[in-house]
Amino acid sequence: MLVPVFPMRTFVLCTLLSSLALAADPIRFLPASKTFVLDAGPVTSAIAINNNNELQPVYFGPRLWRDDDFKPAVASREWASFDLSAATTPKEYAGYGGGLFVEPCLKVTLPNGVRDVVLKYQSHEIKGDTLEIRVKDISYDLAVSLHYRVFPQGVIRKHAVITNRTAAPLTLESAQSGSLHVPPGEGYRLTYLYGRWAGETQMIREDIHPGVKVMESRRGNTSHQANPWFAIDGPEPASEISGRVWYGALGWSGNWRVAVEQSSHQQVRVTAGLNTFDFAHSLKPGESLETPPLYLGFSDQGFGEASRAFHRFQREFIFPGGLTSKPRPILYNSWEATEMNVNEPGQVELAKKAATIGVERFVMDDGWFGARDTDHAGLGDWFVSRKKFPNGLKPLIDQVKALGMDFGLWVEPEMVNPDSDLYRAHPDWAMHFPDRPRTTARNQLILNLARNDVKEYIFSALDKLVTENDIAFLKWDMNRNVSEPGWPEVAPEEQKKLWLQYTRNVYAIIDRLRQKHPRLEIESCSGGGGRIDLGILTRTDQVWTSDNTDALDRLKIQEGFTYPYAPKAMMAWVTDVPNFNGRSTPLRFRFLVAMQGSLGIGNNLNKWSTEDFALAKKMVAWYKGVREIIQHGQLFRLASPRDPSGFAATQYVSSDAKKSVVFATLHSQQYGRIVPNLRLQGLNAQTVYKVADIDNRFSTVESGASLMDRGLPLRLTGDYAATAFTLEAQ
């Protein structure tokens, strides 16, 4: 059994809770109070059938142990003729109807013009750790099945299946995955991730005020600009180590929406799911729509434990292979060295050099296919350029493998350049409205993957590539967002389904490819971090965090990333300087920043000095010794790179608390301003640890108590100083 590492208090609580869990089923229906109790490890969520026969969320928080604490739920009264019961009663899955003025989960137009849905409880089914509650409109056979699953890490997954059981077609105008209600009150804060290309996952925290704050993507993918994750803390402010934090994330890589709302009666509620923008989904009689999953969790030990619990959950239940999957291999990617000027001798030269420093996977990036000499041509033509590789890829792959590495390849399957054989043959395959211009971005158009023939073509092209070549890994890129989302081949009322079907088909291609090639691994890239979410992470092994590989910028990008996502999935490369923002940082600093996730190297190795190779070799060897702790351990964010001091630190602790790794970086030093001792976390106070720095210049033997309370002295001087330590239980 995996024993999670928490401070002692939690450990005792968890042990107590796990013995309680033996006593009670994780999901129970209490007939007296008509309450569903969902226990997810240290978290309980409860949903009641109220006196109006509606589903009312009554609790989401720390684990409760006494079922009798739940009393029958009563709908709110009409506060005023302007605030009806429908709007003031918390609803688990609110239909727009009956006087609802807050965000609905479901909005429907029926063919007779009726636009009113009131959902009432019908039946339910509990099977182990899953629950299905069926609700139905009061007049029409419009049914919604609400599905729940509880996970031991304190996470609850929900999604809805909406079925048209009427005799006529209807149109869904909003189909959300679900909602979260925190205890009524004021003073809550919202934490979320915003950004831009080359500046993804920037963490921001702000007060929640009355009104609605919407985070969303209308771009056809997850987006660089916002990420489908949120956390709410309060009313007392939480910190990294204490306080109440509710969080949630959508598993969806298409248009998504998270609305955080504070009602006029101080109810903070979150509604999350498919974006309602340009959304209209017709359902014929008998048809259903299944929403993406929404994952919700809670921590009463601040943001740090909220992240760690979610990371543990991802490693076990989201990432392909789960707990059996190995740490990520160290990869080399030739993009920044050669860009599209790839050929066999040049790649072999780089591969030989990469092998000397301990790289395990060699990845050739863009430029190997079709007429791809610049970004003006070639996308769509997924056959090997005979000009660049006269004998195909086999000789290169053989040499890479002879050097002890496996081989990976870049693809951008969803795209087409107008200058390509594919586009010349199938101009109608690009997304477009027939009588309107087709907007190019990076000289490319986006294929309408919602079409079945396009989906089949892309699957076949990739399948052929992977079947004919010994490819262990694909870097799957997507370098633009959707414009002109037309689908002229289907009826106008069906065309808006493109948004949903596009993403479903991307998933379907990846799933089918992996099923047929079980050893194939995939990285999700969209011009860096444009497609990072729990939907893509259930089917890809890692993500390209950002095209921005500047180490200092990366510290903030990486910090934001780790709020929702586990460091194992976070690819971080060391690259050349000056970076594209003009900054130069020492190679050592770049390594120590990149080693805080899954390490990759993207330098032009032809330019490296003997000293660079020696340093890289040492760093890679050291990383191999600790990556298990970094990728499978618990992350503690000790000092934030957002702090104006310029000091940042992270710590990773193995599941048994016997090993730990610490990274500390200092952007710039002000003479005389000390960096205080770094107080560690997550250790066993009673255990004695041997501490050694990466340079073997400093070592000490100290108790966990001392390391956590007195802290570790740091000797960081100068600009871009960086160090790392290992801890090992004695």
8-state DSSP, 13: H
By beta-carbon proximity to ligand GLA, the closer residue of 97 and 380 is: 380
Q: Which window, 108-116, 175-183, 286-294, 525-533, contacts ligand GLA (CB under 6 A)?
A: 525-533
| Of positions 39, 365, 414, 693, contacts ligand GLA by CB under 6 A | 365
Q: Which window, 83-91, 350-358, 524-532, 560-568, contacts ligand GLA (CB under 6 A)?
A: 524-532
Report yes or no: 418 and 379 within 8 Å, Cβ to Cβ. no
- The answer to whether 553 contacts ligand GLA (rule: CB under 6 A) is no
Report CA-CA distances (Å) from 675 to 135, 692, 714, 718: 58, 19, 7, 12
| Of positions 270, 525, 572, 587, contacts ligand GLA by CB under 6 A | 525
Dist. CA 564–CA 55, nearest whole Å? 29
Cβ-based neighbour number of residue 453 at 10 Å = 12
Using the structure block, give the residue that is written with the tokens 């969520």: 45
Least Cα distance to 727 among 695, 685, 689, 696 occurs for 689
Dist. CA 492–CA 647, nearest whole Å? 56
Report yes or no: 120 and 97 within 8 Å, Cβ to Cβ. no
By beta-carbon proximity to ligand GLA, the closer residue of 220 and 243 is: 220
Report yes or no: 166 and 95 within 8 Å, Cβ to Cβ. no
Q: Least distance to ligand GLA from the beta carbon of 367, Å?
A: 8
Backbone φ and ψ for 460, nearest 5 degrees, come out as: -60, -40
- The answer to whether 254 contacts ligand GLA (rule: CB under 6 A) is no
| Of positions 221, 479, 524, 684, contacts ligand GLA by CB under 6 A | 479
Q: What residue is closest to ligand GLA based on CB?
A: 366
CA 292 centroid distance within chain: 14
By beta-carbon proximity to ligand GLA, the closer residue of 479 and 503 is: 479
Cβ-based neighbour number of residue 597 at 10 Å = 28
Given 547, 550, 553, 693, the catalytic residue: 547
- The DSSP code sequence of 437-493 is ----BTTBEEB-TTSHHHHHHHHHHHHHHHHHTT--EEEE---S---S---TTS-GG
- The answer to whether 528 contacts ligand GLA (rule: CB under 6 A) is yes
| Of positions 247, 335, 429, 473, contacts ligand GLA by CB under 6 A | 335
Q: Least distance to ligand GLA from the beta carbon of 722, Å?
A: 24
Q: Least distance to ligand GLA from the beta carbon of 396, Å?
A: 18
- The answer to whether 527 contacts ligand GLA (rule: CB under 6 A) is yes
Binding characters for ligand GLA, 292-321, by CB under 6 A (x = yes)? ------------------------------
- The answer to whether 366 contacts ligand GLA (rule: CB under 6 A) is yes
Q: Least distance to ligand GLA from the beta carbon of 294, Å?
A: 28
Cβ-based neighbour number of residue 402 at 10 Å = 10
Least Cα distance to 486 among 477, 478, 496 occurs for 496
- The answer to whether 331 contacts ligand GLA (rule: CB under 6 A) is no
- The answer to whether 544 contacts ligand GLA (rule: CB under 6 A) is yes
- Output the furthest CA–CA distance in the chain (Å, rounded): 79
Active-site residue flag, 547: yes
Given 365, 419, 477, 541, the catalytic residue: 477
Cβ-based neighbour number of residue 125 at 10 Å = 11
Report yes or no: 170 and 110 within 8 Å, Cβ to Cβ. yes
- The answer to whether 380 contacts ligand GLA (rule: CB under 6 A) is no
Hey, what are 630's tokens? 């970094």
- The answer to whether 523 contacts ligand GLA (rule: CB under 6 A) is no
Dist. CA 227–CA 216, nearest whole Å? 8
Active-site residue flag, 67: no
Restricting to residues 130-159, name those near ligand GLA by CB under 6 A: none
Report yes or no: 378 and 417 within 8 Å, Cβ to Cβ. yes
Q: Which window, 300-308, 461-469, 521-529, 679-687, contacts ligand GLA (CB under 6 A)?
A: 521-529
Restricting to residues 10-69, name those near ligand GLA by CB under 6 A: none
By beta-carbon proximity to ligand GLA, the closer residue of 88 and 479 is: 479
Hey, what are 244's tokens? 């109440």
- The answer to whether 477 contacts ligand GLA (rule: CB under 6 A) is yes
Q: Least distance to ligand GLA from the beta carbon of 463, Å?
A: 22
Q: Is 687 exposed, middle or buried (0-12, 13-18, 19+ CB in 10 A)?
A: middle
By beta-carbon proximity to ligand GLA, the closer residue of 4 and 220 is: 220
How many residues interact with ligand GLA (rule CB under 6 A)?
Answer: 11
Dist. CA 137–CA 125, nearest whole Å? 19
| Of positions 6, 59, 410, 647, contacts ligand GLA by CB under 6 A | 410
- Taking CB atoms within 8 Å and a gap of at least 24, the contacts of 466-471 are 466/513, 466/517, 466/520, 467/517, 469/392, 469/393, 469/394, 469/397, 469/407, 469/409, 470/394, 470/397, 470/401, 470/407, 471/397, 471/407, 471/408, 471/409, 471/520
Specify the pairing of strand 699-703 against strand 688-693.
Answer: antiparallel
| Of positions 116, 523, 547, 550, contacts ligand GLA by CB under 6 A | 547
Cβ-based neighbour number of residue 581 at 10 Å = 12
By beta-carbon proximity to ligand GLA, the closer residue of 546 and 585 is: 546
- The answer to whether 261 contacts ligand GLA (rule: CB under 6 A) is no
Report yes or no: 589 and 618 within 8 Å, Cβ to Cβ. no
By beta-carbon proximity to ligand GLA, the closer residue of 153 and 549 is: 549
Q: Least distance to ligand GLA from the beta carbon of 479, Å?
A: 5
By beta-carbon proximity to ligand GLA, the closer residue of 148 and 410 is: 410
By beta-carbon proximity to ligand GLA, the closer residue of 146 and 571 is: 571
Query: Which residues contact ligand GLA by CB under 6 A?
Result: 335, 365-366, 410, 477, 479, 525, 527-528, 544, 547
**Residues with catalytic roles:** 477, 547
